[in-house]
Amino acid sequence: MDERQFGAEITEVPEEIRLRLSGDLNGRADEALASAYAQVAALGPRRVSLDFAHVGYINSTGIALVVRLLAQARRDGRAVRAIGLTEHYREIFRITRLSDFMEIVEGDAA
Amino acid sequence: MTELTRPIRRLLGRHTDTPEPDAVPESPAVTEPARLTDDPSIAVDIAESDPLLAYLQSASGPIEIARLELDSPAVRAMREAGVALVVPLVSQGELIGTLNLGPRLSEQEYSTDDRRLLTTLAAQAAPAIRVAQLVREQAHEAAERERLEQEMRVATLIQQQFLPRELPKLPQWQIAAYYGPARAVGGDFYDFIDMPDGRIGIAVGDVTDKGVPAALVMARTHSILRAEASRSNSPGEILRRANALLEPEMPARMFVTCLFAILEPETGRIVIANAGHNLPYIRTDDGVVELRATGMPLGLMPGIRYEETEGVIAPASSVLLYSDGLVEAHDPNQQMYGFPRLRQEMAVDDAGSELLDRLLETLHRFTGPDWEQEDDITLVTLRRASGVADEPASDGQAGPALITAFSIPGEEGNERLAMDRVAAAAGGLGLPPARLERLKTAVSEATMNAIEYGSQGNPDVPVDIAVETTADAIVVRITDRALSGAVPTDAEAPDIELKLAGAQKPRGWGLFLIKNMVDSMDVTSDGSTQTVTLTMAREERTNG
């Protein structure tokens, strides 16, 4: 199978915590993403940036995982933004209206 | 018992002169000797024919080599190397190795307690060693599988790179082509070449061998045929020159069968030359005829000449060019599809259906659903219109042509495989990159649904995927076995606000994405299968 192992690495930058995601964002990323967000939440940042620059594939289950993370972050009073999405996935975030609830940053964010 | 069919290489404890007051048996070693340069062990190979193997297999405990009366080269080698005691390692009745011990350092005999200890040790060590051996074998097999799969992906990419991006559009002709790669990817190819005066060159070929080597030879043959077709109007001459160029560089034990035809669309005249390939069938009002021409395959020997034969495809007649993957396909009882059956199918004059579709349909009925395709299958059909006003081909539009068809095991995660294979097939068909990305997402989602509902995640229940091309669109058909009945297509539309508020589950985006990614999605069902058809226009369709 050609699937790429999902990974989530936490980096702290001023004002936010960045989750550098890699691999395929699908149903199998469930635990890794939930666990990464739990670690982020414990650090209490005001904003979480999801860095998709190293994610090559996102399917509908992966979108559902982002929705779940976003819902949780909103409950926690935390902003979420997405960086490094390809044009195709930015389109998907627009169509699903995820972009109405999280900032979508084109290219690499500062 | 496979271990017993190979020579067994094990280590031998070597005697040391260092006095030890509390002598214990030397540490047995069961690892490969060559890497342990500081290890005081040497290797003894036991040939599979050596009688020692059978003896060890049935032995109940440690064996004293000095007392063993066997005409065995291995026993002699052990004696020379100073082995005193051999303890067979047997796991589940299978001899997996031996512990070889030199004399005790105290120079006393091995005691009953020593032997009991060694027997217990061997009984406990053998299964653990066997597990370690199996793990190593499996890791090796997994790496080998990965290498083969990678090679297969490369071969597929090369292969598909050289398939025609579009079929010729000829008034009064309906042209269809199908290329179905086998899992191991053979060396089939077909090509349409525009020639002077509106004539069309048609090549169908098959390279012996599979994988990357076959794909590379196919690519080279494809290029040579194209180049030679621009220099000559004679199929025989084109093949002669192709052979002259290919023969000196052809790898050992490889050759190419190829049929080259030149069609005059206005008159229906077709001239063929043949390099060891299957002969084309022409369906006429009087039945099916074979257009015969002989010649050696390309690349076998120099100086070959190729005879030419010509025929005429009359109005309402068809011609079929094909590779042997079709006639050599087997049914579950190992019966071969064969030429008589193909000829019989060809004879059915069913103007209401496309010949190529019908041939594939009967092939799949013949092979059954669990068929693992043995070889690439290539089919090219050309039908000349009857001239009647309502003739489907009279508008000059070519019908849909199948680019690839394959099956994937209905197991979660394989949607990625389906997506990649469709992308590889559709990549060369002129779809802009953004539209290709959308098609990939739609294929992935539709295949996920097919796996979840149609196969219920069972790898033994396949999902079939076909990629077709029409003049203005790419069409992907995803057919599942409908184990859970019809895939719901009228699910509640996902609402991000409801989902964020917890009033709707986070999931449920699949169908929504498919509908938004492609130009149309149609679902058909015949009770036992369900097919989702995704259509993606080559260019963005403007609204209104």
How far off is chain A from B12, nearest CA to CA, in Å? 43
pLDDT at A107: 67
Q: How far is CA B45 from CA B7, B58, B89, B187, B426, in A?
A: 6, 19, 15, 43, 55
Q: Judge: B413–A3 Cβ closer than 8 Å, yes or no.
A: yes
Q: Do A57 and B500 touch (CB under 8 A)?
A: no
pLDDT at residue B350 greater than cutoff 80? no
Supply the pLDDT for residue A2.
52
Chain B nearest-CA distance from A50, in A, is 17
DSSP assignment of B220-241: HHHHHHHHHHTT-S-HHHHHHH
Walk me through the domains of chain B, giving residue ranges and CATH numbers: 2-137 (3.30.450), 165-398 (3.60.40.10), 400-544 (3.30.565.10)
Mean of all residue pLDDT scores within chain B? 82
- B201: Cα separation from own chain's centroid: 29
Please tell me the predicted confidence (pLDDT) of residue A3.
64
Structure tokens at B234: 């004679």
A100 lies in some domain: yes
Chain A closest CA to B497's CA: distance in Å? 9
Taking CB atoms and an 8 Å cutoff, what residues of chain B touch A101? 496, 500
Question: pLDDT grade, residue B358 (50/70/90)?
Answer: confident
Share of chain B above pLDDT 70, in %: 85
Q: What is the ipTM of this complex?
A: 0.89
> What pLDDT digit, counting tens, does each position of B398-418 carry?
456 677 777 788 988 889 889
**Range B31-58 average pLDDT:** 68
Predicted confidence at residue B4, as pLDDT, reads: 30
Using 50, 70 and 90 to split pLDDT, how confident is the model at B351?
A: low
- B180 and B373 in contact (C-beta within 8 Å)? yes
Name the closest residue on chain B to residue A71, using Cα atoms: B500
A24 belongs to a structural domain:
yes
Interchain proximity A87–B434, CB inside 8 Å = yes
**Count of residues in chain A:** 110
Percent of chain B's residues with pLDDT above 90? 37
Instruction: Give me the mean pLDDT over the B68-95 stretch.
Output: 90
**Which of A1, A26, A60 shows the shortest C-beta gap to B509?**
A60
The mean of the pLDDT values for chain A is 89
Residues of chain A with Cβ-Cβ distance to B505 below 8 Å are 64
From B455, B447, B446, select the one nearest B520 (Cα to Cα): B446
- Which residues in chain A have Cβ-Cβ distances shorter than 8 Å to B496? 67, 96-98, 100-101
> Measured between CB atoms, which of B416, B508, B509 is closest to A2?
B416
Confirm whether A67 is domain-assigned: yes
Interface test with A, best of B500, B507, B536, B540 (most A CBs within 10 A): B500
Question: Which range, of B26-30, B449-453, B511-515, averages the lowest pLDDT?
Answer: B26-30
pLDDT of A108 reads 59
Residue B453 is given by DSSP the state I
Which residues in chain A are contacts of B437 at CB distance < 8 A?
Answer: 86, 88
More confidently predicted of A66 and A4:
A66
B32-60 mean pLDDT: 71
CATH number at residue A59: 3.30.750.24
Mean pLDDT of A87-97: 95
**pLDDT confidence of residue B16:** 36
Q: CB-CB: which of B438, B494, B500 is closest to A74? A: B500
Helices (H), A2-110: 30-43, 60-75, 87-95
Q: So what's the pLDDT on residue B139?
A: 93
Q: How many domains does chain A have?
A: 1
Give the chain B residue nearest A28 (alpha carbons).
B413
pLDDT in tens, B203-248: 999 998 888 888 899 999 999 999 999 999 999 999 999 999 999 9
Nearest CB partner across the interface for A61, out of B419, B500, B507: B507
| CB-CB under 8 Å, B516 with A59 | no
Helix (H) or strand (E) segment spanning residue B362 = helix B355-367
**What share of chain A has pLDDT > 90, as a percent?**
73
Query: What's the confidence (pLDDT) of residue B162?
Result: 82
Q: What is the pTM of this model?
A: 0.47
Confidence bin at B349 (pLDDT 50/70/90): low
pLDDT band at residue B3 using 50, 70 and 90 as cut-offs: very low
User: Is residue A19 in a domain?
Assistant: yes
pLDDT value at B32 more than 60: no
Record: contact B437-A88, CB cut-off 8 A: yes
Q: Considering only the beta carbons, identify the residue of A3, A68, A86 that sits closest to B506.
A: A68
Q: For position B137, what pLDDT does the model report? A: 92
Q: How far is CA B248 from CA B168, B300, B441, in A?
A: 33, 9, 46
State the maximum Cα–Cα separation within chain B, in Å, rounded to a whole number: 108
Distance to chain A for B98, nearest Cα, Å: 39
- Is A1's Cβ below 8 Å from some Cβ in B? yes
Q: Is A92 near chain B, with CB under 8 Å?
A: yes
Residues of A in contact with B512 (CB under 8 A): 60, 95-96
pLDDT digits (tens, 9 = 90+) for B359-400: 888 888 888 877 887 888 899 999 888 754 334 443 444 456
Check if A79 contacts B (Cβ < 8 Å). no
In a domain, A40, yes or no: yes
Residue B486 has pLDDT above 50, yes or no: yes
Least confident interval from A30-34, B118-122, B157-161, B484-488: B484-488
Contact A67 B496 (CB under 8 A): yes
> What is the per-residue pLDDT for B399?
56
- Distance, in Å, from the CA atom of B285 to the CA atom of B277, rounded to the nearest integer, reads 25
pLDDT band at A51 (very low <50, low <70, confident <90, very high): very high
CB-CB under 8 Å, B508 with A71: no
pLDDT level of residue B156 (50, 70, 90 thresholds): confident
How far off is chain B from A71, nearest CA to CA, in Å? 5
Residue A14 sits in which domain range? 7-105
Contact A64 B506 (CB under 8 A): yes
Specify if A110 maps to a domain. no
